Structure 1
Amino acid sequence: MRTLTLRGGARVPVTAAEWSDAFGVVVRGRVRLELRDGTPGPVLGRDAGFWLRGTGVRALHNPGRRTAHLRIHSHRPSSRRNDMISTDDTRTRAGRSPGLAVTGLVATVAAVAATTVAAALARTAGVDFAVSGTGETIPLSGFAVVTGFFSLVGVAVAAAFRRWSDRPAHRFVRTTTLLTALSLVPPLLTGAAPATVAALVVLHLIPAAVLIPALARHLRRSSPTTAGTRTRAPAV
């Protein structure tokens, strides 16, 4: 018998040979079973026991922030090479996968850079970005600030869905796609020159094209499912 430790957000692939005669018990925290096709399986709470042999589970994932501990019972002699993944191995695997904050920050920087460069190119091509009725033009720094702000809002939305939704990636994509569509309405109502309107529409789409796929991929990979499901012997 040994203990498998999963830090918050950690994910450990399931190797069939290692779990052929092993029985696991969650002694602390929560563990999500990730099915073979990548869809979320049940979330196991404290004292839940499970077999993985022949179930189609491809990975174990800790959906919470607290460290989870599993007690692994196996009749097979312990082996340094072929035994369950150790605590150190688990931490190494978890460390290789960046958290949502890091993914969001990188995507935000990329979105700001792409939008600012696109605005500069549009201005070079003759688009003046003049605000109708004021005679003022939108500076490049304005595009950067607005893009950065709303990108961080998108990261916050992703974090909220990861925490409270059972299908975070799906709901995040639907919500942000709708918000992006709504954000295209103001440029169409500005009364600016057609070239300016077209450029503003494109500049709204660029950060969405950068941010939404990056955060959706992260949510599919490591986001939690809704907590509260407890089972003694999950059928998956």
Structure 2
Amino acid sequence: MRTLALRGGARVAVVAAEWRDAFGVVTSGRVQLELRDGEPGPVLGRDAGFWLRGTGVRALRNPGRRTARVRIVTPRAQGRHMPGNTSRTPVTERRRNDMNDTGAGRTRRLRGLAGTGFAATLAAMVATTLAAALAQAAGVDFEVPDGGETIPPAGFAVVTGFFSIVGVVIAAALLRWSARPAERFVWTAVSLTAISLVPPVISGASTATTVALLGLHLVPATVMIPILARSLR
């Protein structure tokens, strides 16, 4: 039985012969599995157990700042060298994670995210169009000072659809490359939404139009952000 210590950001290559009969348990911190093609794999938290034999995992990586530790149990490892520091503390095998389907699982998640994002985009377009129509019925003209043109409800639908798809692409990229996709997506989406509120304020439109435009920026954000964040978790 041994303990592998990974400092923040550290990476340890997996030697297949050393992990043939080994079972690992994360005792502190978080450990990310690096797949055969170099892609980032699942992030395992405390008490997560895993086998690496036949999985194609080529390295263990610490995605956080604090030191992560993995207890390695090798029933037939007498005389076999294992990476890391020795430890005499007993460990109980709690869970076994078979990583043979890691790549397929990630593909399924991306497809699921795409389907959810498409449905959320349609919902955001409908909600924004209805909100714009109600605002017009209440007397808001949506007249842009430059050129004196009036924005039609269909225009809001097109803009909402475009930026919603951009949000889905950002979410997919974070799912693909980030160890914490949900948290990063929420932070990014909220920041971009806040930036999008600036143009209506400085557009020079009437107070009613400005308030309505601000509301129409928040409607799709209210629809898209929670749905995509939930899918990323």
Fold similarity call, TM over 0.5:
yes
Match of 1:150 among 159, 163, 169: 163
Match of 1:206 among 219, 226, 232: 219
User: Equivalents in 1 of 2:147, 2:198: separation in Å?
Assistant: 20
2:154 maps to which residue?
Answer: 141
Matched-pair contact (CA < 8 Å) for 1:172–1:216:
yes
1:230 maps to which residue?
Answer: none
- 1:103 matched to 2:111: no
Which consecutive residues of structure 1, in runs of 5 or more, have no partner in the other structure? 1-22, 69-93, 221-236
User: Equivalents in 1 of 2:92, 2:43: separation in Å?
Assistant: 13
How far 1:46 sits from its partner (Å)? 2.2
Give aligned-pair identity as a percent: 54
- 1:30-179 to 2 correspondence within 5 Å? 32=42, 45-46=55-56, 55=94, 65-66=103-104, 99-179=112-192
User: Equivalents in 2 of 1:43, 1:109: separation in Å?
Assistant: 42
SS at match of 1:99: helix
SS at match of 1:144: helix
The two structures, once aligned, show a CA RMSD in angstroms of 3.9
Q: Structure 1 residue runs of 4+, over 2 Å off?
A: 28-37, 40-55, 57-68
2:230 maps to which residue?
Answer: 217
Give deviations 1:145-171, integer Å, cap 9, x for gaps: 000000000000001101111111111
Aligned residues: 167
User: Equivalents in 1 of 2:97, 2:208: separation in Å?
Assistant: 50
How far 1:180 sits from its partner (Å)? 0.2
1:103/1:50 CA distance change after superposition, 3 Å: farther
SS at match of 1:133: coil
Matched-pair contact (CA < 8 Å) for 1:36–1:58:
no
1:32/1:198 CA distance change after superposition, 3 Å: same
Matched-pair contact (CA < 8 Å) for 1:107–1:211:
yes
User: Equivalents in 2 of 1:62, 1:215: separation in Å?
Assistant: 27
Q: What amino acid does structure 2 have at the position aligned with 1:169?
A: A
User: Equivalents in 1 of 2:209, 2:98: separation in Å?
Assistant: 50
Matched-pair contact (CA < 8 Å) for 1:168–1:219:
yes
User: Equivalents in 2 of 1:42, 1:160: separation in Å?
Assistant: 26
Q: What amino acid does structure 1 have at the position aligned with 2:155?
A: G
1:46/1:202 CA distance change after superposition, 3 Å: same
User: Equivalents in 2 of 1:192, 1:108: separation in Å?
Assistant: 27
With structure 1 as the length reference, what TM-score do the two structures score? Answer: 0.59
1:87 maps to which residue?
Answer: none
- 1:183 matched to 2:196: yes
How far 1:65 sits from its partner (Å)? 4.0
Which consecutive residues of structure 2, in runs of 5 or more, have no partner in the other structure? 1-22, 25-34, 59-71, 75-90
1:166/1:67 CA distance change after superposition, 3 Å: closer
User: Equivalents in 1 of 2:111, 2:224: separation in Å?
Assistant: 15
1:194 maps to which residue?
Answer: 207
Tell which has more relative contact order, 1 or 2 (C-alpha 8 A, sep 6+): 1
How far 1:211 sits from its partner (Å)? 0.4
Larger Rg: 2
User: Equivalents in 2 of 1:155, 1:63: separation in Å?
Assistant: 24
